Amino acid sequence: MRTEKIIAIVFIIGLFLKVVHFHGGPVTVLALSMLALLYLFAAFRLFRDRETGQQDLDLSIVTGILLSSVPIAILFKLQYWAVWLQGGTDTVQVMLLAAAVLALAVLAGAYFLRSKAGGQFRAYYRDMMARAAILTVLAVGLYITPTSTLLKVQFWDDPELARLWQDADPGNAEFQQRLDTYHMKKDPPKSDNKTE
């Protein structure tokens, strides 16, 4: 869990940087991608009892595969990549719902197996339940949070830009023109007209 805590700290720093407009997007992408890859390819190392090293290898691998979908869905929601997808926000909402259901299934399965397990695997299932619970809460929380709210939080100092991005359609020339006009109005180019 130490690696996951470090990734969580990097993720929180990335969110903070994003809110204060200091290019935190790459940091959040890095943190959530690392977590997804860690779950996908190294679940057999993460999901085991810390003291004894015991685990159910097959269950650890399946759990890692299922839980790796949650950081990816969160990433799509926080980076507003839905705008670029066919189907837009609905696609990301379905991704988040599916990820939450998968994490909830892992949570329920670990709870059930923990109640049936002997003393040797209880810590193993407890740790698995903790991971699944945290990811379920994050996925459900972002699922019920509208994109407009996320935009208002990110662009807290510029509500007009938040409203503009709520109707985003990057492939549309009209949207791009409105965005360019807004930026030109806000930050007009400096002219080099010097009178001699």
| Ramachandran class of 177: left when φ > 0, alpha when ψ lies in -120 to 50, beta otherwise | alpha
Domain boundaries, the chain: 2-145, 147-188
pLDDT in tens, 107-118: 999 889 888 877
| DSSP symbols for 175-186 | HHHHHHHHHHHH
Specify the 3-state DSSP secondary structure of 54: coil
Distances from the Cα of 151 to the Cα of 63, 68, 93, 128, angstroms: 32, 25, 16, 33
pLDDT at 10 over 50: yes
Q: Which are the contacts of 86, defined by CB distance < 8 A and separation ≥ 6?
A: none
What is the token pair recorded at 187? 């930050």
pLDDT at 138 over 80: yes
pTM of this structure: 0.79
Helices (H), 2-24: 2-19
pLDDT in tens, 148-162: 888 888 888 888 888
What distance in Å separates the CA atoms of residue 61 and residue 160, rounded to the nearest whole number? 46
Average pLDDT over all residues of the chain:
83
